[in-house]
Amino acid sequence: MSRPNRFSEVKFIIRGEPDPILPTDATKPASRHCLVSNRPLARALFLGLVVFALVFVCRNIVQLRPSPQVLVPIIPDEPPVPRQPPLYDEYYLNEERLPQHDPNLPFPEGRTGRYINMENFVITSGWGNAMQELLLDAHVAYKSGRSFVFYPYTWNLDGSNSSQYGDHLIPSRIPLTAILAGPVVGQLFPDQNQPTPRAVIKTYFDKVCPRPTVISTHNISDHLENDATAKRILDAWTDKLNIIADNCVTIDRASSEQIFTFWVFGAAERILPIWPSFSTSPVLTHFRWSHLIHRAFNANVHLFSSVPYLALMRSLGPSLPPLLKDTYPHLIPSKYIYAPLPDLLVLHVRRGDFVDHCNGLSNWGSMWNGFNRFPEFLDKFALPPGYTPDGSEAPPHARAHYLKHCFPSIPQIVEKIADVLKDPANGGLKYVYVMTNGDRGWVQELKEALGGMEDGKRWQKIATRRDLELDWEQTFVSQAVDMLIGQRAQVFIGNGFSSMTSNIVTLRMANGFDPSSNRFW
């Protein structure tokens, strides 16, 4: 005898995501209506179909939203759980389990290994700023032959789980392994002839280094010129870290600044001299995003890829390019993993209150970030003629000049794209993906303007950040998903004043993309 009610009572939610994606109520009316006859055989067949359909739908939802989520039955009518930001507990647990967290390992790891714990990492800062610092700090550790102690990406150090940001809650910290993989977060380094100790977490450092030598960035920076280049800063630190006999060194937060300050990143003549060293560092050559980010990319690839059927095939397993596997062997260079996506144009357009930031930049006469100023780039930024900034309000012509490059209007965006399309190398572009925090109305207007371009029929797809389907954990690291898409674009048009853009440009340059494929408003 079949008992349909037993099944129709079961509800599913995706843990941590109380929105009723799968209201099984949908099956209830059917069972009440004339679709089901009274004959037992027909009832059994119908029930079989319903169960099959339910299982099929559930499986597909799980596959399309592939994060460490579990389908759990809940008691019907349980009140919804308030939507707190995710805690990413599993990532912390996996970090604790890294094999290098073993004091018995031989030198240069274990209790006789050498470590550098940089407690002075930036907080309350966007991922773009945090990431540029993180990669260079990890490079200093690599060059000094010391194990890099990595911390969560931290908004707030007060021990809370979440912080208010504007009108919503964000995680106070996110384990770095939810965003990145690779040597920065403890994977093996590629060069086995010259073993480099793997990165470790702070609790392990505390175990092997109960009494580290504590140093301030002033111990170094006070002996350098005010305009020292990043290369000189790197050399000064590696010299110092080599001289210190103690295997355990902590850079103290309270008395320190950043090793590479905002000023260094802002000045091309200071940051670019580190490029020959940085671009060949495993930190960049073997850079990787986390499996969480790879899965978000795969789940949305149909929005920006030239192979639409992959959207349907992705559940068969991510083995076909341009899809990404969860992990890659440590020896594979980044450039083979994040190969260019042909025909894709990615735009980075900051909106919202960024206009205030742009106006501030115009008052101070700021230049583009250093990594947005490789000499090979086609687009360069210069002050408008006759403008001598002094911090007071910029005259209208200077302000307009800054807004064009920093906060372009829709006609200015369209004009720039038309210009980029004039390059024969860019003739095949047919997908546009827009990294933007713009509101729905603005995004719609932009889409229409792109479609209405003289050459607008070329666009087979125009997608934006708002079109991405992300699970709850991916939602709070969506900048990294955007960066991965931008990193692989055939052509990228970014904001020269943005560290988000300059990180993308850094990854593209390190992976050997044609410099002329990096453009700026």
Ligand X SMILES: *[C@@H]1O[C@H](CO)[C@@H](O)[C@H](O)[C@H]1NC(C)=O
For the window 80-99, what string marks contact with ligand X as x by the rule CB under 6 A? -------x------------
Q: How far is the CB of 171 from ligand X (least distance, A)?
A: 10
Q: How many residues bind ligand X (CB under 6 A)?
A: 7
Q: Which of these ranges, 59-67, 157-165, 300-308, 456-464, lies near ligand X under the rule CB under 6 A?
A: 157-165
3-state secondary structure of 94: helix
173 token code pair: 């910290």
Considering beta carbons, is residue 237 or 433 the nearer one to ligand X?
A: 237
Q: How far is the CB of 82 from ligand X (least distance, A)?
A: 12
Contact between 154 and ligand X (CB under 6 A)?
no
Considering beta carbons, is residue 63 or 242 the nearer one to ligand X?
A: 242
**Residue 462 bridge partners (DSSP):** 432
Considering beta carbons, is residue 207 or 223 the nearer one to ligand X?
A: 223
Considering beta carbons, is residue 87 or 307 the nearer one to ligand X?
A: 87
What residues between 361 and 380 interact with ligand X by CB under 6 A? none
Q: Which residues in 369-507 belong to E strands, given as ranges?
A: 431-436, 461-464, 489-494
CA atoms within 13 A on the CB side of 229: 12
For the window 37-76, what string marks contact with ligand X as x by the rule CB under 6 A? ----------------------------------------
Contact between 391 and ligand X (CB under 6 A)?
no
Q: Which of these ranges, 11-19, 29-37, 153-161, 452-460, lies near ligand X under the rule CB under 6 A?
A: 153-161
- Going by DSSP bridges, is the β-strand pair 461-464/431-436 parallel, antiparallel, or unpaired? parallel
Rounded to 5 degrees, what are φ and ψ at 4? Answer: -55, -30
Contact between 219 and ligand X (CB under 6 A)?
yes
Contact between 242 and ligand X (CB under 6 A)?
no
Q: Which of these ranges, 146-154, 158-166, 308-316, 333-341, lies near ligand X under the rule CB under 6 A?
A: 158-166
Q: Which of 215, 248, 274, 443 binds ligand X (CB under 6 A)?
A: 215
Give me the amino acid identity at 234: L
Q: How far is the CB of 87 from ligand X (least distance, A)?
A: 6
Contact between 163 and ligand X (CB under 6 A)?
no
Question: Of 424, 135, 75, whose CA–CA distance to 271 is shortest?
Answer: 135
Contact between 160 and ligand X (CB under 6 A)?
yes
- The answer to whether 479 and 504 have CB atoms below 8 angstroms apart is no
Contact between 161 and ligand X (CB under 6 A)?
yes
Q: Which of these ranges, 116-124, 156-164, 262-270, 411-419, lies near ligand X under the rule CB under 6 A?
A: 156-164
Considering beta carbons, is residue 28 or 202 the nearer one to ligand X?
A: 202
Q: How far is the CB of 219 from ligand X (least distance, A)?
A: 4
Query: Computed over its alpha carbons, how large is the radius of gyration of the chain?
Result: 26
510 token code pair: 């390190």
CB burial readout 325-352, b (16+ within 10 A) else e:
eeebebeebbbebbebbbbbbbbbbbee
Considering beta carbons, is residue 106 or 159 the nearer one to ligand X?
A: 159
Q: Which of 112, 164, 213, 460 binds ligand X (CB under 6 A)?
A: 213
How wide is the angle at C-alpha 249 spanned by C-alphas 248 and 250, nearest 5°?
A: 130
Cα-to-chain-centroid distance, residue 4: 46
- The answer to whether 520 and 377 have CB atoms below 8 angstroms apart is yes
65 Cβ contact partners less than 8 Å away, ≥ 6 residues apart: 14, 299, 469, 471
Q: Which of these ranges, 125-133, 136-144, 181-189, 211-219, lies near ligand X under the rule CB under 6 A?
A: 211-219
- The answer to whether 471 and 436 have CB atoms below 8 angstroms apart is no
Question: How far from 8 is each of 2, 5, 26, 30, 289, CA to CA, in Å?
Answer: 12, 5, 9, 10, 41
Contact between 255 and ligand X (CB under 6 A)?
no
21 token code pair: 């994606």
Q: How far is the CB of 233 from ligand X (least distance, A)?
A: 16
Q: How far is the CB of 238 from ligand X (least distance, A)?
A: 14
Considering beta carbons, is residue 156 or 437 the nearer one to ligand X?
A: 156
Contact between 159 and ligand X (CB under 6 A)?
yes
Q: Which of these ranges, 38-46, 118-126, 154-162, 479-487, lies near ligand X under the rule CB under 6 A?
A: 154-162
Q: How far is the CB of 213 from ligand X (least distance, A)?
A: 6
Q: Which residues in 404-465 belong to E strands, given as ranges?
A: 431-436, 461-464
**Residue 49 bridge partners (DSSP):** none
Tally the residues of the chain: 521
Q: How far is the CB of 404 from ligand X (least distance, A)?
A: 45
Question: What is d(CA 109, CA 114) in angstroms, rounded to the nearest whole number?
Answer: 7
Q: How far is the CB of 214 from ligand X (least distance, A)?
A: 7
Question: What is d(CA 106, CA 475) in angstroms, rounded to the nearest whole number?
Answer: 40
Cα distance between the two ends of the chain: 69
Q: Which of these ranges, 159-167, 194-202, 250-258, 275-283, lies near ligand X under the rule CB under 6 A?
A: 159-167
Q: How far is the CB of 101 from ligand X (least distance, A)?
A: 23
Question: What is d(CA 389, CA 362) in angstroms, rounded to the nearest whole number?
Answer: 8
The contact set with ligand X (CB under 6 A) reads: 87, 159-161, 213, 215, 219
